[in-house]
Each structure stands twice: as C-alpha cells, then as structure tokens.
Structure 1
Amino acid sequence: MTGREGGKKKPLKAPKKKNANADVDEDDKAFQQKQKEEQRKLKELKDKAAKGGPLVSGGIKKSGKK
C-alpha cells in the first residue's frame, strides 16, 4: 500500500454550478432590488449612529480628586 492510495479519492473537477439568474422573473428581480436598497439604508443608518458617539453620557462625572 503506497501513500497515494490511502484516504478518500477526490474528483478531478468540481461539477458546474447552475446559473441562478437564468430562472429569475421580474418579480424576483424587483424583490432582490428592494432588499438591496433596504440593506444599503440600514448600513447608512449604522454608519451615522457610529459617528454620533455615545448615546448615554453616564450621569455624574467624577473628577478623580479626593
């Protein structure tokens, strides 16, 4: 038994993937476009929220002196 024979044999080429856009009708395209717009709007809102800084100031601030 040589080292080449051991283990699971793999196929030489991966099977070709089916083209997903071939069966998509107009309703599906509109739905996908709507979802992309929503994702873009959510990302913009998240970016704006991140730039704004902390939402809660934390109440009374201590000076550190005693």
Structure 2
Amino acid sequence: SQLGDLKNRKSNTFPSLDWNKSDERLLQAVEQNDPDKVAALLVKKGLCPSKLDPDGKSA
C-alpha cells in the first residue's frame, strides 16, 4: 500500500527522533558559538540540526 511505502521510506530517511547526548553536544556547541565543533558533530555524527530537544529547541 502507499501508506506502508511512505512509512518505510520515512523511517529510512529521517534520523531518530530521540534526543541523545550527541544532540545535546551539538546544541551546546551552537550556544557556545563554536562553529568548528558544530561542523564536526554534524559531519562525524550525522546529526540533524533541526531535531527538537524536550524543550522544543533545536541547534
């Protein structure tokens, strides 16, 4: 079905929605204005900068 295909595609396309320590480090690097660390975390960890933390903030 089309809905089943969409669900499978969505789960393979988008990163985990669970907030983790790497996401927290990315947010902290942004808050500390550390672009080198931000870039490193995005590249090495493959993080999503638009992921929301429990308070609704994103990097």
Same fold (TM over 0.5): no
TM-score by length of 1: 0.26
Higher alpha-carbon Rg: 1
Looking at both structures, which has the greater relative contact order when contacts are Cα pairs under 8 Å and sequence separation is at least 6? Answer: 2
TM-score by length of 2: 0.28
More helix by share: 2
